[in-house]
Amino acid sequence: MTGFPDTRVLGRDVPRKEDPALIRGRGRFVDDIHLPGMLHAAFVRSPHAHAAITAIDTAAARAMPGVRAVFTLKDLAPHLTDTRLVVAMPSPAYRLELHRPVLAHSEVVHVGEAVAMVVADDPYRAEDAAAAVDVQYDPLPAIADCVAALRPGAPTAHAGAASNLVAEMVVEYGAVEAAFAGAALRIQKRLLVHRGGSHSMECRGLVAVPDPIEDRLTVWNSTQMPHACKRMLCDLLDLRETQVRVVTPDVGGGFGPKLVIYPEEVAVPLAARLCNRPVKWIEDRREHFVSTTQERDQAWDVELATDADGRILGVRGVLVHDHGAWTARGLNVPQGAVAAMPLAYLVPAFRMTIKVAATNKVPVTPIRGAGQPQGVFAMERLLDEAAAALGLTRDEIRRRNLVPAERMPYATPMRTRGGIAVTLDSGDYPLCQRMALDAADWTGFPARRGGGGAVRRGIGLSNYVECTGRGPFEHVSVRVEPSGRIVVATGAAAMGQSTATMLAQVVAEQLGADLGRVDVVTGDTAAAPIGLGGSNSRQAVLAGSSAHAAAVRVKAKVLEVAGELLEVSAQDLEIVDGMVRVLGVPGGGVSLGEVARAAAGQAGFVLPGTSGPALAASEEVVIDAMTYANGSCVAEVEVDTGTGAVRVVHLVFAHDCGRALHPRIVEGQLMGGIAHGIGNALYEFMAFDENAQPLTTTLAEYLLVTATEMPKVTILHHESPTPLNPLGIKGVGEAGVIPIGAAIASAVEDALRDYGVRIDRLPLSPVDVLALLDQSTVLPST
Amino acid sequence: MSAEPVRTVAFGVNGETREATIPVRRTLGDVLRHDFGLTGTHLGCEHGVCGACTVLLDGRAVRACLMLAVQAEGHEIRTVEGLADAAGALHPLQQAFCDHHGLQCGFCTPGMLTTLVEFLADCPDPTAAQVRVAISGNLCRCTGYESIVAAVLDAAARMRAA
Amino acid sequence: MKPPVFEYHRPASLTEAVDMLGGLENARLLAGGQSLMPMLAMRFAFPDHLIDLNRIPALAGIAEDGGTLRVGAMTRQRDLLDHPVVRARLPMLAEALEQVGHRQTRNRGTVGGSLCHLDPAAELVAVATALDAELEIAGPRGARTLPMAAFPLGFMTPALEPDELLTGLRFALPALPQGACFTEFARRHGDYAIVSAAAILWPRDGRIGRASITLGGVGPVPVRLEAAEAALAGQRADAESFAAAAACCGALDPMDDAQVPAWYRRRLAATLVRRALTTAWERADVR
Ligand SMILES: Cc1cc2nc3c(=O)[nH]c(=O)nc-3n(C[C@H](O)[C@H](O)[C@H](O)COP(=O)(O)OP(=O)(O)OC[C@H]3O[C@@H](n4cnc5c(N)ncnc54)[C@H](O)[C@@H]3O)c2cc1C
Ligand code: FES
Ligand code: FES
Q: In sequence order, what DSSP letters do the residues of C205-274 get, joined into one string?
A: TTEEEEEEEEEESSSSS-EE-HHHHHHHTT---SHHHHHHHHHGGGG------SSS-HHHHHHHHHHHHH
- Residue in B34, B44, B136 nearest the CB of A707: B136
Specify the DSSP element, H or E, that contains A302: strand A297-306
User: In this predicted complex, what is the ipTM?
Assistant: 0.97
pLDDT in tens, A56-104: 999 999 999 999 999 999 999 999 999 999 988 888 889 999 999 999 9
Q: Could you tell me which of A433, A219, A27 has the C-alpha nearest to residue B33?
A: A27
**Whether the Cβ atoms of residue A114 and residue A290 lie closer than 8 Å to each other:** no
Q: Kindly report the nearest CA distance between residue A154 and chain C, in angstroms.
A: 23
Q: What's chain A's average pLDDT?
A: 93
Search chain C and give the residue with CA nearest B137.
Answer: C102
Q: Pick the residue whose CA is nearest to atom 3 on ligand 2.
A: B48
- Cα C165 to the center of its chain, rounded Å: 16
Q: Could you tell me which of A747, A631, A721 has the C-alpha nearest to residue A369?
A: A631
Q: Kindly report the nearest CA distance between residue C97 and chain A, in angstroms.
A: 17
Of B39, B42, B53, best ligand 2 pocket probe by most atoms within 8 Å of the beta carbon: B53
Least confident interval from A219-228, A525-534, A659-668: A525-534
Domain ranges of chain B: 6-81, 92-161
Asked if residue B3 has pLDDT above 80, the reply is no
- Specify the fold of B6-81: Ubiquitin-like (UB roll) (3.10.20)
- Residue in A687, A689, A770 nearest the CB of C267: A770
Length of chain A: 782
Search chain B and give the residue with CA nearest A203.
Answer: B44
Q: What is the DSSP string of A656-724?
A: E-BS-SSHHHHHHHHHHHHHHHHIIIII----B-TT--BS--STTTS----GGG--EEEEEE-----TT
Q: Could A710 and B146 be called an inter-chain contact, meaning their C-beta atoms sit closer than 8 Å?
A: yes
Decide if A123 touches C, using CB distance below 8 A: yes
Q: Could A706 and C188 be called an inter-chain contact, meaning their C-beta atoms sit closer than 8 Å?
A: yes
User: A19-27+471-619 belongs to which CATH class?
Assistant: alpha beta
| Model pTM above 0.90 | yes
Q: Is the CB of B62 under 6 A from ligand 2?
A: no
Q: Could A689 and C264 be called an inter-chain contact, meaning their C-beta atoms sit closer than 8 Å?
A: no
Reported as a pLDDT band with limits 50, 70 and 90, residue A536 is low
Top residue of B30, B95, B146 to mutate, by most chain A CBs within 10 Å, is B146
Asked if residue A606 has pLDDT above 90, the reply is no
Q: Pick the residue whose CA is nearest to atom 3 on ligand 3.
A: B140
- Residue in C7, C33, C78 nearest the CB of B67: C33
Q: Hey, what amino acid is at A529?
A: P
Residues B92-161: name the CATH superfamily. Answer: [2Fe-2S]-binding domain (1.10.150.120)
Residues C179-283: name the CATH superfamily. Answer: CO dehydrogenase flavoprotein, C-terminal domain (3.30.390.50)
Q: Is the CB of B56 under 6 A from ligand 2?
A: no
Q: How far apart (Å, rounded) are the C-alpha atoms in residues A555 and A584?
A: 17
Q: Could B138 and A706 be called an inter-chain contact, meaning their C-beta atoms sit closer than 8 Å?
A: yes
Asked if residue A470 has pLDDT above 70, the reply is yes
**Whether the Cβ atoms of residue C121 and residue C193 lie closer than 8 Å to each other:** yes
Reported as a pLDDT band with limits 50, 70 and 90, residue A471 is confident
Q: For ligand 2, what atom is nearest to the CA of residue B49?
A: 3
Q: Could C107 and B68 be called an inter-chain contact, meaning their C-beta atoms sit closer than 8 Å?
A: no
**Whether the Cβ atoms of residue A471 and residue A626 lie closer than 8 Å to each other:** yes
| Integer CA distances (angstroms), A288 to A362, A700, B117, B137, C173, in order | 10, 14, 30, 20, 48
Q: How far apart (Å, rounded) are the C-alpha atoms in residues B129 and B119?
A: 13
- Which residues of chain C form CATH 3.30.390.50? 179-283
Search chain C and give the residue with CA nearest A769.
Answer: C264
Q: How far apart (Å, rounded) are the C-alpha atoms in residues C12 and C14?
A: 7
pLDDT the model gives residue B1: 46
pLDDT in tens, A269-286: 999 999 999 999 999 999
pLDDT in tens, C236-257: 999 999 999 999 999 999 988 8
Q: Could C190 and B48 be called an inter-chain contact, meaning their C-beta atoms sit closer than 8 Å?
A: no
Q: Could C2 and B62 be called an inter-chain contact, meaning their C-beta atoms sit closer than 8 Å?
A: no
Q: Could you tell me which of A648, A685, A709 has the C-alpha nearest to residue A764?
A: A685
Asked if residue A369 has pLDDT above 80, the reply is yes
Q: Is the CB of C28 under 6 A from ligand 1?
A: yes
pLDDT in tens, A165-186: 999 999 999 999 999 999 999 9
- Cα A134 to the center of its chain, rounded Å: 37
Could you give the dihedral angle defined by the CA atoms of residues C12, C18, C23 and C26, in that order, rounded to the nearest 10 degrees? 90
Q: How far apart (Å, rounded) are the C-alpha atoms in residues B6 and B21?
A: 7
Ligand nearest to the CA of A284: 2
Q: Kindly report the nearest CA distance between residue C92 and chain B, in angstroms.
A: 19
pLDDT the model gives residue A534: 64
Q: Is the CB of B52 under 6 A from ligand 2?
A: yes
- Cα C245 to the center of its chain, rounded Å: 23
Q: What's chain B's average pLDDT?
A: 96
pLDDT the model gives residue A613: 81
Length of chain B: 162
Asked if residue A537 has pLDDT above 70, the reply is no
Once rounded to an integer, what is the mean pLDDT over residues A306-328? 97
| Integer CA distances (angstroms), A260 to A107, A469, A720, C98, in order | 22, 18, 33, 42
Q: Is the CB of B139 under 6 A from ligand 2?
A: no
Cβ under 8 Å to A: C residues 227-286? 258-261, 264, 267-268, 271-272, 274-275
User: C1-52+59-173 belongs to which CATH class?
Assistant: alpha beta
pLDDT the model gives residue A4: 81
Search chain A and give the residue with CA nearest B139.
Answer: A706
Residues of C in contact with B119 (CB under 8 A): 103
Distance C254 CA to ligand 2 centre (A): 32
Once rounded to an integer, what is the mean pLDDT over residues B7-21? 97
Local mean pLDDT, 10-residue blocks, chain C (287 residues): 97 97 96 98 97 97 94 98 96 97 98 97 97 97 96 96 97 90 96 96 94 96 95 94 95 89 96 97 80
Q: Compute the radius of gyration of chain B from its Cα atoms.
A: 16
Asked if residue A418 has pLDDT above 90, the reply is no
Same fold, B6-81 and B92-161: no
